[in-house]
Homo-oligomer: A and B are copies of this chain.
Amino acid sequence: MKKSLGAKTLIYPLPVWVVGTYDKERKPNVATIAWGGICCSDPPCVAISLRKATYSYGNIVERKAFTVNVPSEKYVREADYFGTVSGRNVDKFTESGLTSVKSDIVDAPYVKEFPVILECKLIRTIEIGLHTEFIGEIMDVKADEALMEKGVLDIEKLKPVIFAPDTASYYGVGKNIGKAFSIGKKK
């Protein structure tokens, strides 16, 4: 039997992604989000949503660029930290000990230690309500070579983090349960 839970943002799985931006003085900032997703294949685009009150919001409006950095499980503490303090008050790179790398392609920094990063150029800004959705065209994806198997990214090596909203918990990726566009055939 289904129970009504009301008008809430409860859906599974949600990602744990870290948005990299520069402020006016080129101080790099990072902020963790769970509100985001791929929104177009061609051009390849990713959407991220931020509140106007965040430091990253102003940075993206100013720089028209951001990176999306995928933390691996081993950086779950840093990713959580990046979501709990504001770049207005602290330098999160300095505090966390992680390394900011200037993108050659867009006006934003990425996190050197994270296994996969997307460099994005802002192409659309959608005001929705409490959150503003920024659509970024993915100009390049960079990944640690050690995580690839014959040039293909392996999620089992990458170990991204999953956010479970109702319990506010982080999870790892579990077992492979099938091949896409394949296991459902001939139902």
A residues with a Cβ closer than 8 A to B are 1-15, 17, 34-47, 49, 68, 70, 73, 76-84, 95-96, 112, 116-118, 124, 126, 128-131, 133, 135, 137-145, 148, 152-155, 158, 160-185, 187
Which residues of B lie under 8 Å from residue A187 when comparing CB positions?
77-78, 81, 95-96
Q: Smallest distance from the beta carbon of A30 to chain B beta carbons, Å?
A: 12
**Closest CB of chain B to A146's CB: distance in Å?**
8
Oligomer copy total? 2
- Known A126-B126, A155-B167, A171-B175; judge A9-B35 contact (CB<8 A): no
Residues in B whose Cβ lies below 8 Å from that of A49: 37-40
B68 and A11 contact, CB distance less than 8 A = yes
Give the residue of B13, B38, B174 whose beta carbon is less than 8 angstroms from that of A11.
B38
> Bound complex: CA of A152 vs CA of B89, how far in Å?
34
| Interchain CA distance A178-B158 in the complex, whole Å | 18
For A139, what are the chain B residues with a Cβ–Cβ distance below 8 Å? Answer: 7
Instruction: Take A176-B170, A181-B168, A185-B84 as given contacts and tell me if A47 and B47 are in contact as well, using a CB distance cutoff of 8 Å.
Output: yes
Closest CB-CB distance, A83 to chain B, in whole Å?
Answer: 7
Contacts of A83 in B (CB 8 A): 180-181, 184
Q: What are 27 pairs between A and B in contact, CB < 8 Å?
A: A1-B145, A2-B145, A6-B140, A7-B43, A7-B140, A8-B44, A9-B45, A11-B17, A11-B70, A12-B70, A12-B153, A13-B162, A13-B173, A35-B41, A36-B39, A37-B38, A40-B130, A45-B129, A76-B177, A79-B184, A80-B178, A126-B126, A153-B164, A154-B166, A170-B179, A172-B174, A172-B175
